[in-house]
Chains A and B, each alone.
Chain A
Amino acid sequence: MKLRYNKYRFAFAFGSLAIIVLFTLAPLVYSLQLSLQSGRANNLEFSGLDNYRRLFDDAIITKALTNTIGFSVILTPMVLIISFLLANCINKVRSQKLKGFYSVILFFPSITSPVAYAFFFKRLFAADGFLNNFTLLFNPQAESINYLLTPIGARIAIVIICIWAWSGYYTMLLLSAMQSVDPLVYKAARIDGLNNRQILRKITLPIIKPVVLFCSVLLSGGIFQLFAEIMIISKGGPEHSTITLAYYIYQLCFVYVPQFGYAASIAILIFLISGTIGFIQLRLGEKSI
């Protein structure tokens, strides 16, 4: 009986798995091989672990790592907290129509093209941009500042942009999870005398915990993918204050004379870090569920 479905079993899953192997796994293995070669452009030669040794001496790698980790540490909780609060607010709205309307509007940033909003925010923070014009309204003597030209300003700009761009998506995910809770559960809790805060802590949070976890995995993955925003807004500068590993790879391969081998070793580094983070998060999740 079971054997009868074997051919479908493989036929149905084959296409996807073949593409995953060809376009995700094979490149990863190839990356590993490339990372053992060094040289410029297409003159690659086997050089053992040289690239990995170079990683340790490269000041830009240290910068990129601290930036990426910094962005993760700040962005992941901030986006999750904002999304959670918003989802909780929307969930309390009684009218179904308004609920739908609000969630569509809040979802809007996540369908906007990153290229488009990155250029918008670039104008916002520019010396002759909206933000400076706005300060001029209140204080005509104020000197206009190009926020993106100071390291701290550029970093804050990137954080603001990511919060703006991502919160709506996670609000939607969390809201869907909250709505999947049977309303009777809340009714019962209320009859048992729990107040709003207790309901949130004892019922809502535990139920949506797997989704929160899934969100945090997606988020930290997203931070490693941070590319369009960096490329358009700051090109990694000033003084590499916003460079990420992903953008550094791009620079190494497509801006200057390509160093594919060295870039591949950074790619392996990215994979190891994001893999470890994902693994830890999943493990933590298993334990607490």
Chain B
Amino acid sequence: MNKKKQGILNHIIIVFACLCATIPYLLITASTFNTSVNIKKGDIFSNASFQNWVNNFSKLTNDSNFANALRNSIIVAIITVFIGVLLASLAGYAFIVYRNKFMDKLFNFSFFSIMVPSSAIIIPLFMMLKMFNMLDSLFSIVLVSLSLPFLIYLFRQNTKLFPTELIKAARIDGLNEIMIYFKIYLPNMKAVFVTASLILFIDTWNSLLYPLVIIQSQKNITLPVYINSIGSSATSDYGAFMIALMISTFPILLVFVIAQRYFRAGMKTM
């Protein structure tokens, strides 16, 4: 009996936490079905209709900056994930498979750079990029968003559990080291690759500081910068703004729901 009570209390706590976690997004989504005037008043439930949603949506999509921002965000996130996960997995693999004292030192070096906060290097990065004429470029955002130290740690931790017999067997079968990485290691470590991609995708997609500092022209802005600028201006349309907020979370929500099975497997060895 006592056990049953505990179980129910357990569920109540979790459901309450789940409600807290989703309420902001639910309210934002609910308010997209209302008119700008009502949203501004804080009255988001009366007068809700699908027609309002369509109106808000078309107002947002009529703004060419929004289309630009969405496209740039997608490009930056995909390229960052591709480069970051490839480089970090190669390094994480090398740190374990070719492990020796020197490699451990290199790993420690990379691990300690986790502790360098981005706010501590933003000014010199800005000035370096300015010096090399790389400001206002999407590729510069990619280069500074890779967050390799963390990903290398993730891959190294997981590679420790990778059976070395597989690699030895593949060597005897005559595969070269690069082929072993692609044909043996990558397929067997799918969960970790998905986890790493997801973390990097989310971080890059949501990042405000780097694009805010690096990007200077309207055509190169990313979604968080766009949302920040229309959200801070007093004249912006609340309905369109709510749709923008909703859309900014939607792609990651989609990716996450699809990949969450792998994601939980990949987090296990952190």
Contacts and interface: CB of A to CB of B under 8 A. Distances in A.
**Chain B associates with chain A:** yes
Interface of A: 2, 5, 8-9, 12-13, 15-17, 19-20, 23-28, 30-31, 34, 85-86, 89-90, 92-93, 100, 102-117, 119-121, 123-124, 128-130, 133, 164, 167-168, 172-173, 176-177, 179-180, 211, 214, 217, 221, 224-225, 227-228, 231-232, 245-246, 249-250, 253-254, 260, 263-264, 267-268, 270-271, 274-275, 278-279
Contact of B120 (A23, A31, A129, A133): A31
B126 A253 contact: yes
A245 B119 contact: yes
A100 B264 contact: yes
Interface string B118-148: 1111111111100000000000000110101
Interface in B1-29: 7, 10-11, 13-14, 17-18, 20-22, 24-25, 27-28
B249 interface: yes
Interface string B240-270: 0100010011001100110011001001111
Nearest to B116: A24
A111 B24 CA distance: 13
27 contacts: A8-B94, A8-B177, A9-B103, A12-B91, A13-B91, A16-B148, A17-B106, A17-B109, A20-B110, A26-B124, A28-B121, A92-B7, A93-B10, A93-B14, A110-B202, A114-B208, A115-B208, A119-B227, A120-B27, A172-B267, A180-B268, A217-B114, A225-B117, A228-B208, A228-B224, A250-B119, A253-B122
Interface string B213-243: 1000000000110011001100000000100
B33 interface: no
The residue in B94, B202, B248, B253 that gathers the most chain A C-beta atoms within 10 A of its C-beta is B94
Q: For chain A, what secondary structure do more than half of its interface residues adopt (helix, strand, loop), or is it mixed? A: helix
Contacts of B128: 26-27, 30
Contacts of B13: 85-86, 89
B42 interface: yes
The residue in A23, A89, A177 that gathers the most chain B C-beta atoms within 10 A of its C-beta is A23
Contacts of A113: 205-206, 223-224, 227, 248-249, 252
B113 interface: yes
Contacts of A228: 208-209, 224, 228
The residue in A9, A128, A246 that gathers the most chain B C-beta atoms within 10 A of its C-beta is A9
B24 A102 contact: no
A243 B172 CA distance: 60
A221 B114 contact: yes
Given A12-B91, A17-B91, A176-B269, 10 more contacts: A5-B177, A19-B148, A28-B124, A34-B124, A115-B231, A116-B227, A120-B28, A168-B21, A228-B228, A268-B120
A16 B117 contact: no
B124 A30 contact: yes
Contacts of A232: 228, 231-232
A231 B268 contact: no
Closest 9 CB pairs of A and B: A246-B119, A12-B94, A27-B121, A30-B124, A27-B124, A16-B91, A9-B98, A176-B267, A228-B208
Interface in B126-181: 126-128, 143-144, 146, 148-149, 152, 177-178, 181
A111 B250 CA distance: 10
A271 B94 contact: no
Nearest to A5: B98
Interface of B: 7, 10-11, 13-14, 17-18, 20-22, 24-25, 27-28, 41-42, 87-88, 90-91, 93-95, 98, 100, 103, 106, 109-110, 113-128, 143-144, 146, 148-149, 152, 177-178, 181, 202, 205-206, 208-209, 212-213, 223-224, 227-228, 231-232, 241, 245, 248-249, 252-253, 256-257, 260-261, 264, 267-270
A219 to B, nearest CB: 13
Contacts of A104: 256-257, 260
B43 to A, nearest CB: 8
A135 to B, nearest CB: 12
B24 A117 contact: yes
Contacts of A133: 42
Given A5-B177, A227-B209, A278-B115, A105 B22 contact: yes
Nearest to A222: B117
A31 B123 contact: yes
A51 to B, nearest CB: 12
Contacts of A224: 117, 119-120
Contacts of B148: 16, 19-20
Nearest to B90: A12
A164 B227 contact: no
Contacts of A214: 270
A86 to B, nearest CB: 6
Contacts of B18: 102, 105-106
Contact of B106 (A13, A23, A89): A13
A150 to B, nearest CB: 20
A77 to B, nearest CB: 18
